[in-house]
Structure 1
Amino acid sequence: MRFATWAGGAGVVSDAGLHPLPSGVSVLDLVCSGLPAALEAGSSALAGPPVPLASVRLLAPLTPPTVRDYVAFEEHVEGVRKSIDGVGGVPPEWYRAPTFYFTNPYAVVGPFDDVPVPPGSERFDFELEVALVVGRDGTSLAPGDVDIFGYTIMNDWSARDLQAREMKVGLGPAKGKDSATTLGPWLVTADELEPYRDADGFLALDLRVSVNDTLVGQDLLSNMGWPFEELVAYASRGTWVRAGDVLGSGTCGNGGCLAELWGRGHDVPPLVPGDVVEMTVEGIGTIRNRVVSGVDLPPVQAARPRPRIRRRDV
């Protein structure tokens, strides 16, 4: 089943359109109720008349409490590391555990929204990912105990110049990543994608991204270093994951972002206003965002040299 959120409502997606849930019920509410209850509510909604898809503005499928983003594709790390810090190869630490960072849940945008260039950035980039939505609260979970409600497409928009600067400090990414994260077009329940699971437990979905209708990248989701259940289990070690939390796969390889191509010596320009980025994931759908001009802000003030004064003058 596919659940969607739009301006003024939420509901189930069918070939006929959007079937609204009862007023005041959100997709996050359904996720927190558990998959069986959500499917029952969705079946009831399907009995009602549809709203034409073309008549609404789709929003992100849900408002997530938190958003974690992983780097689970080895090929992406190989390429993008070279373009960000000038060092090639994959660090041995990458293989030891799946690494993630927390990104900004307030920056989530809809599947067809315009996306402004972040203030001060001249190297704007997309990142093609698939995100899971946690289905049940849990702590220190084993992979076999993980409950995944469903999946959606994720574009982790990135200001590569801001990212490169701040990561030299040993923290981040931060401002390089928190301007926008696209989720959509809807949330597909996990059972819908089980036919794509391969013998190793990975979802072998085809991933594609184009810029201005020119194909830039294509990969299989099954090229991840860890299956999604391992990502959730790792996130829960010594802490909690909650129903509705979003965990991104990290960017796929083979052109899943421009920075990977830059790191491999490809002369492709960064995104500029007017560019249209389209991502399609097999079994889920398509998102399409247009890049627009961002807010023009003054430069960030540099830090003053430390004065090393230890006491106030009396």
Structure 2
Amino acid sequence: MRIARVEVAGQAFWALLEAETHRLRRINAPFASWSGLPAERALQALDLNAERLPLSAARLLAPLEPGGRVFGVGLNYLSHLKRLGSDAPAHPLAYIKPDSALVGANDEISYPPLTTQLDYEVELVAVVGRPLLDEPRASACLLGYTVGNDISARDAGKQIGRLDLLTQKAMDRTTPVGPWIVTPDALRITGQPALDMRLSVNDELRQQDNTRQMIFPLDELLNYLDARISLRPGDLVFTGSSHGVGLESGRFLQPGDQVEAQIQGIGRLRNTIAGPRPLSPSRAIGRLGQPLAQ
């Protein structure tokens, strides 16, 4: 199945995307009543509208259930770490994003005024379907997978010589996700995904790898997070990005750049970098080149 979060005539809702016709059918059943079911039972539980809408009639939203949380995991591909002169960490590095950081598959990416080093990171994103509880294989609790571009402000925290994840990873409208969720059965996945992923900037290939190369496999990432914050239906988990990012080459995103991230069998994100917005002097604390408050 392909499940999309869409907006039509100002209303946001979940919809089933029919692969053959590329038409949408609205899902009337509550998310939690079908997200944790096996695919064949979930399809029966969706309570679908009979009306079919063309995909072009809808705006694709980030596939996040209202109230869902967004978790990120970094330092999870050795090829990326080697290019930065680092070794594999002893355990995952995780963080949380606010839902206000997310945008849809075709939306503009904001260029925040607090950075001059805006970077790209194509990532597989896991979507939680049911609580992990004592499930021996954590990935069996997933609804499916989607594509993420974990845009990062690489110069965040340089003034204080410390990591500043709030600025680097959480800024408004900087993280495209979508275009929809694809269930594991449709991808023929059991356990660790092995999917090709790639990202281009202005049609120039910058990143290319396979999700089998994760340092910490998906089951381990999910268990690591769930041991600290119990994962809930609708939560998104970004699983880390591979080599080829701007941090390695110094080639960062600029206003007007076209960024395309795609993962085999799921889909692609096509986003444009917006122009930087002005920032009032009273909110310039921590901005590159600005003095910090004493």
With normalisation by structure 2, the TM-score equals: 0.84
2:17 match: 13
Check whether the contact 1:143–1:232 (CA below 8 A) recurs between aligned residues. no
Amino acid corresponding to residue 174 of structure 1 in structure 2: L
Q: Secondary structure at the match of 2:166?
A: coil
CA offsets, 1:236-269, max 9 Å, x none? 115411111111111123x2x211334xxxxx3x
CA offsets, 1:270-308, max 9 Å, x none? 211110100111010111000011321035244454xxx
Check whether the contact 1:185–1:285 (CA below 8 A) recurs between aligned residues. yes
Q: Which runs of 5+ in 1 are unaligned?
A: 83-87, 263-267, 306-314
Check whether the contact 2:64–2:236 (CA below 8 A) recurs between aligned residues. no
| Cα deviation, residue 31, structure 1 | 2.3
Correspondence 1:133-282 to 2 at 5 A:
133-139=127-133, 142-143=136-137, 146-165=140-159, 168-169=161-162, 171-179=163-171, 180-195=174-189, 201-253=191-243, 255=244, 257-262=245-250, 268=251, 270-282=252-264
Q: Secondary structure at the match of 2:14?
A: strand
2:288 match: none
Q: Quick one: structure 1 residues 261 and 203, their matched pair in 2 at CA, closer, same or farther if it must change by over 3 Å?
A: farther
Q: Which residue among 83, 86, 93 is the counterpart of 1:89?
A: 86
| Cα deviation, residue 234, structure 1 | 1.0
Aligned-residue identity in percent: 31
Q: Quick one: structure 1 residues 181 and 148, their matched pair in 2 at CA, closer, same or farther if it must change by over 3 Å?
A: same
Q: Quick one: structure 1 residues 142 and 33, their matched pair in 2 at CA, closer, same or farther if it must change by over 3 Å?
A: closer
Give the distance between the partners of 1:32 and 1:162, measured in 2 at CA. 38
Larger helix proportion, structure 1 or 2? 1
The answer to whether 1:284 aligns with 2:266 is yes
Q: Quick one: structure 1 residues 242 and 144, their matched pair in 2 at CA, closer, same or farther if it must change by over 3 Å?
A: closer
Check whether the contact 1:32–1:244 (CA below 8 A) recurs between aligned residues. no
Give the distance between the partners of 2:32 and 2:278, measured in 1 at CA. 35
CA offsets, 1:104-150, max 9 Å, x none? 22211100001120123211111100110111124576445851110
1:61 match: 63
Q: Secondary structure at the match of 1:162?
A: coil
1:78 match: 82
Q: Which runs of 5+ in 2 are unaligned?
A: 286-290
Give the distance between the partners of 2:127 and 2:91, measured in 1 at CA. 20
Give the distance between the partners of 1:65 and 1:208, measured in 2 at CA. 27
Larger strand proportion, structure 1 or 2? 2
Give the distance between the partners of 1:153 and 1:28, measured in 2 at CA. 22
CA offsets, 1:162-217, max 9 Å, x none? 25446x33x5311121122111000011222235x6xxx53211111111112111
Q: Quick one: structure 1 residues 145 and 178, their matched pair in 2 at CA, closer, same or farther if it must change by over 3 Å?
A: closer
Q: Which residue among 20, 35, 45 is the counterpart of 1:31?
A: 35
Q: Secondary structure at the match of 1:241?
A: coil
**Higher gyration radius (CA):** 1
Q: Quick one: structure 1 residues 173 and 228, their matched pair in 2 at CA, closer, same or farther if it must change by over 3 Å?
A: same
Amino acid corresponding to residue 50 of structure 2 in structure 1: G
Amino acid corresponding to residue 294 of structure 1 in structure 2: P
Give the distance between the partners of 2:165 and 2:79, measured in 1 at CA. 19
| Aligned residue-pair number | 278
Q: Secondary structure at the match of 1:293?
A: strand
Give the distance between the partners of 1:238 and 1:178, measured in 2 at CA. 20
With normalisation by structure 1, the TM-score equals: 0.79
**Larger deviation, residues 151-160 vs 53-62:** 53-62
Q: Secondary structure at the match of 2:249?
A: helix
Check whether the contact 1:6–1:59 (CA below 8 A) recurs between aligned residues. yes
Q: Quick one: structure 1 residues 154 and 22, their matched pair in 2 at CA, closer, same or farther if it must change by over 3 Å?
A: closer
